[in-house]
Structure 1
Amino acid sequence: MVKPDQVEAMIKEQLPDAQIQVYTNDGEHYEAVVISAQFEGKNLVQQHQMVYAAVREAMDSNAIHALALKTYTPASWAAAGQPV
């Protein structure tokens, strides 16, 4: 079973500047909020592809069954009323 902090570390390896929050209820289905300046100029699909690339190996091996994502640039996170 992959722990949320391990998922966070995988994403952080690909997006070192990211602020990441990972949640799970059952150890197979995860939700992540990822805030990264590397998302600037990328559409939502491209942002998600960047995160999925970071966890691809764990998903391919079914260690992670599902990952729901919410991705933001620092500006879009702040615009949503959240502190950066």
Structure 2
Amino acid sequence: MSELPKIIGQVCAIETIAEGNGIRELHQLRQRYGQGTWRKKKGIAAVENFNGEVAMAEIHWYEAHGIGKVKLKIKRWL
């Protein structure tokens, strides 16, 4: 079983790209994680790859106050 990629350091250049009803998965987020003011965010971070290399990547995730970051995914390598 392989490990998931790991974020090294902090995420920078954070932007909100959708919030509230603008989020396609809002119903599923609320069912799984609970009510909250959900926002979809993106940022840039150093990510350790499966083979141990570290590279910059654009990452996307959802977050809500009191719940935190969920469904983190790498969108593209920079």
- TM-score greater than 0.5 by the shorter chain: no
* More helix as a share of residues: 1
Q: Larger Rg: 1 or 2?
A: 2
Greater fraction of residues in strand:
2
